[in-house]
Structure 1
């Protein structure tokens, strides 16, 4: 599970922090996530973002990257930013009016935004993750509460995110998100499927 993806200053490269190791990639964070999605058959970030935007219940921009197991949300523009896993934020700290996110693995991240904005990003990411997981695991986990689809016991989650209104009930009916994503996925590839099927990257299909 990825804890955070951090850009290296004055470089395109990033550091990828997991639960146990740190990796370096010469690609930017969004490219790393696209590569991971292609390799593991996770949802495509571009299609996922378009889907979340059209549903109009997960905000309008800076959408999270989501897979069945965890989520990462961008602090700023997705092309060049820090990506953070809200499920692995241990707590928020403030010093000299600057906020820090302390992660479970000990990493301490300076946040270029205030607490309210950070909580909103984390809240949207968790709500979207719970919605995706409900559609994927609806036969093994039968619950009407988004919190039953979130695996986190950190103080940040228990004392801040758990109380948010978006985690009290789902914004969509069961199966609605999966149907919408499948439609967005088909429309995204339709032109190439119709005219240039040899140009499709079938790893993302």
Structure 2
């Protein structure tokens, strides 16, 4: 075989050998909260995630320590866990939401799973324009918090102009998810009243 042929064969063999990329010792994680704050932290894969949580609270002094939840891939983070245990990759995002006024939080496009004994559920709201929001609250919180959250997220809808239905039943703001036997992942439908009034004054908005 000519020298040119051997070089070509060696080159082709080299192209077939793909390098094995091993996870690095460090990983950079992003914490994103509902107020738009983004915090980045580089840490060892074997470090406890409590360090990431403490760093977030130190970076966002407006949030009181211990008043929020950190979620990754739909599950609540524990400070004792490590990135290696959760198989976290460089650049992965952790969602944070506070528990103010009933523990409301918005996690767009995330699957939220809470412990059964936690008392929190995530309710999905969808209107006729197919706009969706999710809100996490206690089963004993007033549903007015959910209604207010929807109007805040959808400013194009006039406050008080919508009808919120749970399994076809009109939802009142002074009631709670427990009153409707709501479970985690349940969906509320919103129908906005057309110009001209449609159905009289709404009862779900208390403001």
TM category, shorter: under 0.3
Q: Give the TM-score normalised by structure 2.
A: 0.27
Name the larger-Rg structure: 2
More helix as a share of residues: 1
More strand as a share of residues: 2
